Structures are given as C-alpha cells and as structure tokens.
Amino acid sequence: MSKITNILVCGVGGQGVMTATEILAEAAISLGFDVKKTEVAGMSQRGGVVTSHLRFGDVVLSPQIAPGEADLLIGFESAEALRWSHMLRPDGVALVNSGRIVPPVVNLGLFDYPEDPVAQMRALGLTVHAFDASSLAIQLGNIRLGNTVMLGACADRLPFPAEVLRDAVLARFGTRKPQLVEANRGAFEAGRRAVGGEALAA
C-alpha cells in the first residue's frame, strides 16, 4: 500500500474548519486519490472544539488519524493547536493561527488560557509555523477569509502543487459567490507568503 497523507485540521466551531477540510479533500479528489474525511465534533457549531481528519492516498481504509500519525496539523486557533499537538508525527509540521478565541469558561475565570501555546508546542520539539491569520484576514477585509489564509499557508506543504489547492478554493467561491473570488485569491497568497511560500502566477 502506498503512503497515505494524513492532515488534521482543528479549531473552534464556527471558524470554517470543516469547509477548509472539504476544500483540501476536493483538491485531493481532483487528482484521483482515494479520500476519506471525518469530523470529531460534539455539539461543535456552538463554539466547541472541532477537529477534522483528512486522509488521502491510493486506498484509504480507516477514516481516522491515530495519535502521532498526522503529517500536517493545521491549527485555526492557537490553544486548539496545542490541544491536538499529540496527533502530529514527531517529524510533521504544524501551521498555526496564533490568533486566540477565548471561551466563556476562561472569561468567567474558571480556567486559564495557556500563556503561549506556540512556544509550548515548540518546547515539545515540534516544527511550528505560526502567524496571526485572524488579524491578516481582518486586514484583508473579512475575518471569514481566515480559512482561505490558512489553506494558503499549507499550500506548499502538500504532496501536490499549490495551484491545485488554490483552484479548489477558487472553484468553491466561483460557483457560489463570484464576487469573493478575488478576495480569496488574495487571502490564499497572503497565507502562503506568511509562512514563506512563493507567489503563484494568476
């Protein structure tokens, strides 16, 4: 059996974790891979923890990624990235939005938000690329562009060309909201640049 690529996307309900994983899946499908995708989400839409597992390769059996098996961890929120860091392979890569979403239990003073989640992940010996994708999305005009920014950030770390992912992102908006295509193209490139990727030709 050939190598399977495992991608774990995590974040908070409402951030677009599932949509982002869906787009990654569409990119993989367009290349003819066998693909499985599953969410581990309780009553997640309402601000709870969301993780989405994506696996692709020649043949994919179990839909779940085992701890220590993710090649890529895409963290849409920094404390969530820390929560799921045990899923990453020791030689895997984490792409983390350093933006924070503070839950009510922290607001109420019942729990503390971790001091510096990214630093903690690095202290565990993990390779982490972190940047404030939320602020970047707001600068680009809409917090909702955050998931495209994150997809841009992972585009150069996939076993297929970045263009395939970009086209999957644009295809999704192209059919539903054509006016958002340019904004998403910009967000995708901004995400790539944020982690040191090269710009793609339009």
Partner 1 sequence: MPVTQTVPAAARMFLSGNDAVARAVWEAGTRVAAAYPGTPSTEILEILSRYSGLHTEWSINEKVSMEVALGASMVGARAFCAMKHVGLNVASDALMTMTVTGTEGGLVIAVADDVGMSSSQNEQDSRYWGRFAHVPVLEPSDSQEAYAMTLAAFDLSERLKSPVILRLTTRICHVKGVVHTGERIEVEPKGFVKDPRHWVMVPGNAKPRLPTMFEREAAARAQAEVTPLNFQVDGSDRRIGFVTSGPTFMHVREAFPDAPVFKLGLSCPPPLESLRRFAATVDTVLVVEETEPLLETEMKAAGIACHGKDVLPRIGELAPDVLEPAVRRLRGEVVPEPEHVPAQQVFPRPPTMCVACPHLGVYYTLSQMRNVIISGDIGCYTLGAGHPWNALDTCISMGASMGTALGMDKGRGKADENKKIVAVIGDSTFMHMGMQGLLDITWNRGNVTVLLLDNRAVGMTGGQDNPGTGRDIHGEETTRVDFAKLCEALGVKKERIHVLDPYELPVLFKALREETKIEEPSVIITNRPCVLIDHYQPAKSYTVEEDRCTGCGNCVEVGCPAIHVTRRDKVVKASGKEVDLSFVRIETSACTGCGLCVQPCAPEAIVHADPVQSVQSVQFVRK
# binding residues, partner 1 (CB under 8 A): 60
Angle between helices 146-154 and 17-30 (to 10 degrees): 40
Query: Which residues are within 8 A (CB) of 189 and not within 5 positions of it... i.e. 6 or more apart?
Result: 152, 199, 200
**Residue 193 near partner 1 by CB under 8 A:** no
CA 94 to chain centre: 9
From 31-39, 161-169, 174-182, 189-197, span contacting partner 1 (CB under 8 A): 31-39
Say how far apart CA 197 and CA 57 lie, in whole Å: 24
Stretch 102-141: interaction string toward partner 1, x if CB under 8 A:
xxxxxxxxxxxxx--x--x---xxx---------------
Residue 176 beta carbon to partner 1: minimum distance, rounded to whole angstroms = 14
Terminal-to-terminal C-alpha distance of the chain: 36
Binding-site member from 15, 51, 85, 134 for partner 1 (CB under 8 A): 85
Any idea which residue has 């599932």 for tokens? 18
The only residue of 1, 3, 201, 202 in contact with partner 1, by rule CB under 8 A: 1
- Give the whole-angstrom CA distance, residue 127 versus residue 122: 6
Q: Which is nearer to partner 1, 146 or 197 (CB)?
A: 146
Nearer to partner 1, 93 or 200 (CB): 93
- The least distance separating partner 1 from the CB of residue 2, rounded to whole angstroms, comes to 13
Instruction: List Cβ neighbours of 79 (8 Å cut-off, separation of 6 or more).
Output: 100, 101, 113, 114, 117
Q: Does 31 bind partner 1 (CB under 8 A)?
A: no
- Tell me: does residue 44 bind partner 1 (CB under 8 A): yes
> Contacting partner 1 (CB under 8 A), which of 67, 141, 159, 174?
67
Give the dihedral of Cα atoms 91, 93, 99, 103; nearest 10 deg.
-60
Distance of CA 42 to the CA centre of its chain: 19
Chain residues that interact with partner 1, rule: CB under 8 A: 1, 12-13, 22, 25-26, 29, 34-49, 60-64, 66-68, 79-80, 82-83, 85-90, 102-114, 117, 120, 124-126, 143
